[in-house]
Structure 1
């Protein structure tokens, strides 16, 4: 009986040490929001602060001519440029854009997040590196799947 109690205590202690904190939850949400807000109000520095340098953003599109699907990829550098140029005229988003973050799973060093934006959904993998949460992977799609053709 003592062995089981010790084992349960050790397992519980290990899980407690490695689970996320309230601050982690806030930081994960902050990073996801920085990603979309950097596009709302052109802010490349904000975008860069949210991304891991090796971040990749992907989606699946259909080449109408070849009648084949392909995967598009953008990298951290592309997203920083996008944040600087995409909404310069302020006409790409509604006055009160949708930006809802749903935490799907969080552990000590990784998180899966679903970001609902106006016209699309982004699934993000966020990692904690050197004490900072950074987006490392994004898989996205338009709400209207016909836009992928």
Structure 2
């Protein structure tokens, strides 16, 4: 009987939705992920900078058209701040109401894995809690259309 109860409890716990350590952690993780994409919607380098850990790296895989070899593209914090400042200055990179869906994949006391689904791409993010603040430290992204990676 105890064994059945134990397995039932184990199954019930494994189906629970991932939660941060506190409700505030959950809100802060989502806020940081939204700041990342919203700083590109309405060019705001300060908002991007505030969301990033100084050692953040953003990566994706592309194929060189000439050699047909794959390579990994990397952006640093400085590149991402410049991206936020310049990417959508004409206001034509996103729909009028852009998609910005945040999914918490896994959260622990000091780390979180998040999936951001935007209009043309998705980002997997690792967010860390350092000195009491959640900051993005890794981003791995891909266009929805794989042909965009050429």
Find the counterpart in structure 1 of residue 109 from structure 2.
Answer: 108
Aligned to 2:149: 148
Instruction: Look up the match of 2:43.
Output: 42
Return the offset for 1:20: 1.0
Cα separation, 2, equivalents of 1:111 and 1:49: 17
Q: Compute the displacement of 1:67 (Å).
A: 1.5
Q: Normalised by the size of structure 1, how large is the TM-score?
A: 0.87
- Displacement of 1:65 after TM fit? 1.0
Give runs of ≥4 in structure 1 deviating > 6 Å: none
5 Å matches for 1:1-149?
20-149=21-150
Q: What do the CA deviations read for 1:32-61 (whole angstroms, capped 9, x no partner)?
A: 000000000000000000000000000000
What SS class does the counterpart of residue 49 from structure 2 fall into?
Answer: helix
Q: How many equivalent pairs are there?
A: 131
User: Equivalent residue of 1:136, what SS?
Assistant: strand
Structure 1 runs not aligned, ≥5 long: 1-18
Structure 1 Cα separation of the partners of residues 28 and 127 of structure 2: 10
SS of match in other structure, 1:95: coil
Deviations 1:69-103 (CA, angstroms, capped at 9, x unpaired): 00000011000001011111111110000000000
State the distance in 1 between where 2:72 and 2:40 align: 22
Using the size of structure 2 for normalisation, the TM-score is 0.86
Correspondence for 1:11? none
